[in-house]
Amino acid sequence: MTKVMIVDDDRTMVSLLKILLEMDGYEVVNVTQGGNFLPKVREEKPDIVLLDVFLTNMDGKELVAELRNTQDVSDMKVVMTSGMDLADQCATAGADAFLLKPYTPEQLMSILKENLGNTGGNSIQSGGVLE
């Protein structure tokens, strides 16, 4: 089963994403505190991380940069999300993809499948993989 880690401090968003992803067959774990991020990534070994840019106690861009500089987890797939279009900044920080909030369930599933390498039958290209 594919494991998705959600790093977001918005409890409502986490609850909705968890339900949506579990209904689509994903295993979901979440992190609400940025300081727990790297230890939790090492413990859970998710296939992909859905990371909010703006966390209460941390900057998501700093977290992804830290991840990229940590040898044993540097190749972890990361999709960053924000209500502001920060795709370029997220790409520079090391994100594999960016989703602008609010996004549809179809956009989320499409970008997860693109980044996990199993595109399936969904041809929606919203969100986009960062170059």
Q: Are 95 and 127 in contact (CB under 8 A)?
A: no
Q: What integer pLDDT is reported at residue 117 of this predicted model? A: 87
Helices (H), 10-122: 11-23, 37-44, 60-68, 87-93, 105-116
Each domain of the chain, given as residue ranges in start order, spans 3-116
Q: What integer pLDDT is reported at residue 128 of this predicted model? A: 43
Total-model pTM: 0.87
Whole-angstrom Cα Rg for the chain: 13
Q: What integer pLDDT is reported at residue 34 of this predicted model? A: 65
Q: Is 16 helix (H, G, I), strand (E, B) or coil?
A: helix
- How far apart (Å, rounded) are the C-alpha atoms in residues 119 and 128? 13
Q: What integer pLDDT is reported at residue 36 of this predicted model? A: 85
Q: What integer pLDDT is reported at residue 32 of this predicted model? A: 77
CATH T-level assignment (fold) for domain 3-116: Rossmann fold (3.40.50)
Positions in the chain whose pLDDT score sits under 50: 119-131
Q: What integer pLDDT is reported at residue 118 of this predicted model? A: 65
- Alpha carbon 82 to its chain centroid, in Å, reads 11
Q: Are 51 and 80 in contact (CB under 8 A)?
A: yes
Q: Are 37 and 31 in contact (CB under 8 A)?
A: yes
Taken as a whole, the chain contains a residue count of 131
